[in-house]
Amino acid sequence: MEKFFPVINMEKLHGEERKQAMELLHDACENWGFFELLNHGISHELMDEMERLTKEHYKKCREKKFKEQVSKALENGLKSEVTNMDWESTFFVRHLPVSNMSEIPDMDDEYRKVTKEFAMELEKLAERLLDLLCENLGLEKGHLKNVFSGSKGPTFGTKVSNYPPCPQPELIKGLRAHTDAGGIILLFQDDRVSGLQLLKDGQWIDVPPMRHSIVVNIGDQLEVCKFHSIFLSLCIKRIQCEYSSMQVITNGKYKSVLHRVVACSDGNRMSIASFYNPGSDAVIYPAPSLVEIEAEKQAEVYPRFVFEDYMKLYVVQKFQAKGPRFEAMKAMETVNAHLIPTS
Ligand SMILES: O=C(O)CCC(=O)C(=O)O
Ligand SMILES: [Fe+2]
């Protein structure tokens, strides 16, 4: 088992150490559901600019409002743990399929321009990562992107958050524990104020702040898509003698893991999380390349569903376990079997 939080130097993907880097990536997806990327190709100047403008925007346009809201909520101090609120100030910008940036109030032209540029870089990085995952899972290049595409392409958006200093961090979370609904999430987090934690083997582990890194985590949909690889793994095990050279694709078991943000009493934490998700009408389903393999029907544990239906459930159940959501999709699958396209 990997002992240290997985950090992948993407430069190594071009050189002699590519194999080790790919293995590290695979292990991270399988055992952590999280990893941190260095040398990911996004310019440090652009990241610095995005950070500067985001912090400035919070100070100028959002801090006062946050303080007013919380001072109301905390008039008499907190007496016990708060379970229905998060200590965060956020706004969301959608980039794909259609940008809503022009509708976001208070963003000046420079901030809009840099946010757009940063999002375009992240979109490229997300797609590059999906292909690396395909490679590790033994799926055709482009497969995951295609599954996510639906009729209008993927959904891509950025949640900009600030976690201001909190007087009682033991009683309220910056963001309560949850898994992410979508595909792959790319996070640019504050390198000075920490707070993000993931649950691993029953323990909350800090995601270490690292200057100019991008933290990546796997969302629920890739866990569903991972089914490709679990299934493939089962099949390959059955036919291993004949196809031993295919052993490299018998690994995958990717995880969408619980994570949370703890509030802290000093320092304001910035986080810019970009969600590369399936399009609303994308059908999430096991890889067609596996359909003809006989064992599939018995091995199938994940349902086939339309992403939008999953999201309807997620918005009301975000802070609950994901298992029952998959169960509900499974039940719907039976009812809607005739409505969902099969390829
Ligand atoms: O702010 C962070 O570090 C993580 C945010 C997050 O997990 C989310 O918005 O889903
Ligand atoms: Fe999250």
Q: How far is the CA of 161 from the centre of ligand 1 (A)?
A: 8
Q: How far is the CA of 292 from the centre of ligand 2 (A)?
A: 35
**Closest-approaching ligand to the CA atom of 273:** 1
Which distant-in-sequence residues (6+ apart) come within 8 Å of 54 by Cβ?
111, 160, 162, 270, 272
Q: Is the CB of 176 under 6 A from ligand 1?
A: no
If DSSP codes are grouped into helix, strand and coil, which group holds residue 318? coil
User: Would you tell me how many other CB atoms lie within 10 Å of the CB of residue 13?
Assistant: 16
CA distance 80 to 207: 27
Question: Residue 242 pLDDT > 80, yes or no?
Answer: no
Q: Which of 185, 206, 277 to mutate to test the pocket of ligand 1 (most atoms within 8 A of CB)?
A: 185
CA distance 29 to 34: 6
Question: Residue 243 pLDDT > 70, yes or no?
Answer: no
Mean pLDDT, to the nearest integer, of 40-63?
Answer: 98
Q: Is the CB of 235 under 6 A from ligand 1?
A: no
If DSSP codes are grouped into helix, strand and coil, which group holds residue 8? strand
Q: Is the CB of 229 under 6 A from ligand 1?
A: no
In order of 146, 184, 316, the CA distances from 174 in angstroms are 35, 21, 19
Mean pLDDT, to the nearest integer, of 123-131?
Answer: 97
Nearest to 34 by CA among 297, 265, 218: 218
- Out of 109-123, 129-143, 158-172, least confident range: 129-143
In order of 29, 38, 175, 181, the CA distances from 134 in angstroms are 12, 20, 31, 20
Interhelix angle for 109-137 vs 220-239, to 10°? Answer: 20
CA distance 147 to 282: 7
pLDDT at 323: 79
Pick the atom of ligand 1 nearest to 174's CA: 1
Mean pLDDT, to the nearest integer, of 100-122?
Answer: 97
Pick the atom of ligand 1 nearest to 185's CA: 10
Pick the atom of ligand 1 nearest to 196's CA: 3
Higher confidence at residue 4 or residue 11? Answer: 11
Pick the atom of ligand 1 nearest to 215's CA: 3
Q: Is the CB of residue 122 less than 8 Å from the CB of residue 133? A: no
Question: Residue 231 pLDDT > 80, yes or no?
Answer: no
Q: Is the CB of residue 319 less than 8 Å from the CB of residue 260? A: no
> Tell me: the pLDDT tens digits for 300-332?
556 778 889 989 999 999 999 877 887 788 788
pLDDT at 305: 82
Nearest to 84 by CA among 319, 266, 258, 311: 319
CA distance 332 to 337: 8
Question: Residue 135 pLDDT > 60, yes or no?
Answer: yes
Question: Residue 6 pLDDT > 60, yes or no?
Answer: yes
289-315 burial string, b = 16+ CB within 10 Å, else e?
Answer: ebeebeebeebbebbbbbbebbeebbe
Q: How far is CA 132 from the centre of its chain?
A: 16
Q: Which two tokens stand for residue 123?
A: 């979109």
Quick one: CA dihedral 118, 314, 184, 124, positive or negative? Answer: negative
Q: Is the CB of 255 under 6 A from ligand 1?
A: no
Mean pLDDT, to the nearest integer, of 123-128?
Answer: 98
Higher confidence at residue 71 or residue 343? Answer: 71
Q: Which of 34, 158, 175 to mutate to test the pocket of ligand 1 (most atoms within 8 A of CB)?
A: 175
Closest C-alpha residue for ligand 1 atom 10: 180
Q: How far is the CA of 127 from the centre of ligand 1 (A)?
A: 20
* CA-based R_g, the chain, Å: 21
Question: Residue 226 pLDDT > 70, yes or no?
Answer: no
Q: How far is the CA of 180 from the centre of ligand 2 (A)?
A: 5
pLDDT at 304: 78
- The backbone region for 156, taken as left when phi is positive above 0, alpha when psi lies in -120 to 50, beta otherwise, is beta
- The backbone region for 287, taken as left when phi is positive above 0, alpha when psi lies in -120 to 50, beta otherwise, is beta
Domain 7-337 adopts which CATH fold?
Answer: Jelly Rolls (2.60.120)
- Out of 10-24, 41-55, 132-146, 224-238, least confident range: 224-238
pLDDT at 253: 60
Question: Residue 104 pLDDT > 70, yes or no?
Answer: yes
